[in-house]
Structure 1
Amino acid sequence: MCAMARPRKPLLSRERIVETAGALVDAEGLAALSTRRLAAELGVSGPSLYNHFRTKDEILDAIADAVSAKIDLSMFAEDDGRDWRTALHDWAVSYRAALADHPHIVPVLAQGPGRRPAGLKVADAVFGAMVRAGWPPAQATSIGALMRYFITGSALGSFARGFVDDETAYDPADYPHLGRAHLLAEHRQKVDEGAFETGLTALLDGLRLQYEALPARPRTSHSSATAEA
């Protein structure tokens, strides 16, 4: 009896669709993703995608959630031991690193978690940790929102890449303080990471001052207020 031949291509699955779509977005940007292009990349017919995703937007949501799943949340565990400021710092660094690896999906992530499971776990972890630390629920919500604005905003573009690598572009007669601006692009990573760390430190220091001004209140492990991250 002859053994059944193996299929020439791997069976289609949600995981394979998301992985292929994510690689396409990483390489060419959001505009490159269409169901027709994705089906061609997968070697399947377009309608077969609809067995797993109803729309292109659902695929984008899944890509975004896969990126959210890469964000480290261990610092928010109740037994981790880090104080709230250190936890926020370490989480922000992990969050930005995940976005830096997938910059083209940032506009989708910036819209918020919606119904995405991994994104909601991020929001829940941040909010819960802040409330446990003693932040009032409303302020814990604001902190989650503030951190998302700052981190996703920092990942939407590069300050250093905003200047061209041409010293003749910045005439001292017109721009007396930009004589070395053409060197920024060459040092993009150092400039952008340094700016992120400077902003993050300033933000967290400001939050610490607000925290120290809070009236004494008991720490709690849960709250029903709205979370946002």
Structure 2
Amino acid sequence: MARPRTPMLSVSGIRTAALALVDRDGLEGLSMRRLAQELDVQAASLYSHYRTKEDLLADIANEIMAEVDVSGFASGDWRSGLTVWARSYRAALAAHPNLVPVVAAGPGRREAALRRADAVHGGLVAAGWPARHATMIGASTKYLVVGAAMNSFARGFDDDVQVYRDRYPNLSQAHRLSEHAAEIDDDSFELALSAFLDGLDRTFAALGSDLGAARAAEG
């Protein structure tokens, strides 16, 4: 059988190539024409699989976010559920930082994203959080995770000691930060997550006390 002149396309192959392109060149580097060149096909060939670039990006976002674990909420332990969710969420985003603006966008109508949001919200409410607080906790966790995934504090400093010497005496070791960036970023995220959860513990206890007092007053 003769080999086809046009390479065979698959949805998974298109997604893989598009993600590699975004990882390398950023979101602005992705276009259907550019992707077709990477795959050595005509741009029209892509449209039989994806009508728009936005549809393609949504599919890629779903694939990346499939790694996010919300199963911990089923146990009824909201702190454990949040911890597992936040860590896996950050890991999924940090693996593809150029795609964070797409992945971190609201769930819209994406089925997988809505299932995760439902699991998080339902798990928090089932554990005793009021619905309003559950919504705010979900939002706050997202703010923490997305911020951690998009930027590296340590890598934001120059590794030339002369930049800081004399003029910035309190930053005399700043040139060493980039060398230890991964460790600093991981430990900083864990510190922020721990402080966040400890604060929620106190809020949860206070809510329980207020509810108990209200019930006693009614009785």
Change (3 A) 1:72 1:9: farther
Secondary structure of the equivalent of 1:64? helix
Q: In the TM superposition, what is the alpha-carbon distance from 1:8 to its structure 2 partner?
A: 6.5
Q: In the TM superposition, what is the alpha-carbon distance from 1:9 to its structure 2 partner?
A: 6.5
Question: C-alpha offsets along residues 134-186 of structure 1, whole Å, 9 cap, x if unaligned?
Answer: 111111111111111110111111001100111001123x2121000000000
Asked whether the equivalents of residues 68 and 122 of structure 1 are also in contact (C-alpha less than 8 Å), the reply is no
Change (3 A) 1:82 1:197: farther
Asked whether the equivalents of residues 66 and 118 of structure 1 are also in contact (C-alpha less than 8 Å), the reply is no
1:134 pairs, out of 116, 128, 137, with 128
2:108 pairs, out of 104, 110, 114, with 114
Corresponding position of 1:211: 204
2:164 pairs, out of 159, 170, 176, with 170
Structure having the higher helix fraction is: 2
Given the alignment of the two structures, is residue 52 of structure 1 paired with residue 45 of structure 2, yes or no? no
1:191 pairs, out of 184, 187, 190, with 184
CA–CA distance in structure 1, aligned partners of residues 71 and 37 of structure 2: 39
CA–CA distance in structure 2, aligned partners of residues 42 and 202 of structure 1: 46
Counterpart AA for 1:110: A
How many pairs does the alignment contain?
A: 210
Q: In the TM superposition, what is the alpha-carbon distance from 1:44 to its structure 2 partner?
A: 1.6
1:28 pairs, out of 22, 25, 35, with 25
The percentage of aligned residue pairs carrying the same residue is: 53
TM-score, scaled to structure 2: 0.89
CA–CA distance in structure 2, aligned partners of residues 15 and 121 of structure 1: 22
Q: In the TM superposition, what is the alpha-carbon distance from 1:111 to its structure 2 partner?
A: 2.1
Q: In the TM superposition, what is the alpha-carbon distance from 1:10 to its structure 2 partner?
A: 5.8
Question: C-alpha offsets along residues 65-94 of structure 1, whole Å, 9 cap, x if unaligned?
Answer: 211111122212x3xx36111221121111
Structure with more contact order per residue of length (Cα contacts < 8 Å, sep ≥ 6): 1
CA–CA distance in structure 1, aligned partners of residues 45 and 132 of structure 2: 45
Change (3 A) 1:132 1:8: farther
Greater shift after overlay, 20-29 or 208-217? Answer: 208-217
Greater shift after overlay, 102-111 or 116-125? Answer: 116-125
2:11 pairs, out of 14, 17, 21, with 14
Q: Mind listing any 5+ residue stretches in structure 2 that lack a counterpart?
A: 212-219
CA–CA distance in structure 1, aligned partners of residues 72 and 64 of structure 2: 18
Corresponding position of 1:227: none
CA RMSD after TM alignment: 1.8
Q: In the TM superposition, what is the alpha-carbon distance from 1:15 to its structure 2 partner?
A: 2.1
Asked whether the equivalents of residues 127 and 141 of structure 1 are also in contact (C-alpha less than 8 Å), the reply is yes
Q: Which structure 1 residue ranges, 4+ long, deviate > 6 Å from structure 2?
A: none
Change (3 A) 1:213 1:34: same
Q: Mind listing any 5+ residue stretches in structure 1 that lack a counterpart?
A: 218-229
